[in-house]
Amino acid sequence: MTKNIGAEYGQKNIRCNAVGPGYIDTPLLNQLDDEHKKALIAKHPMGRLGKSEEVAELVLFLSSDKSSFMTGGYYLVDGGYTAV
């Protein structure tokens, strides 16, 4: 859907991008016991969970003029989780 919207509305200077956050260190994940949290962290090549600020930085970038030639993309913020 993101690709189609990006392609269809690009000529109208309307951009559409999607952000795919991975496991982010939030109060929800604090409900996990230490064993499960360590196992989850071990699955990330970067060896840690993401931070909400890291996702926000990408969203800010995609919303800015610095990404004016970007549309139809899906951008992961997952510490390499989906790469392995």
The pair of three-digit structure tokens given for residue 55, joined into one six-digit string: 């996702």
Write the CA distances from 10 to 2, 7, 15, 63, 66, integer angstroms: 12, 5, 6, 15, 16
The Cα 35–Cα 73 span in angstroms is: 35
Domain limits of the chain? 2-72
- pLDDT tens digits, the chain, 84 residues: what are they? 999 999 999 999 999 999 999 999 999 999 999 999 999 999 999 999 999 999 999 999 999 999 999 999 999 999 999 999
pTM: 0.89
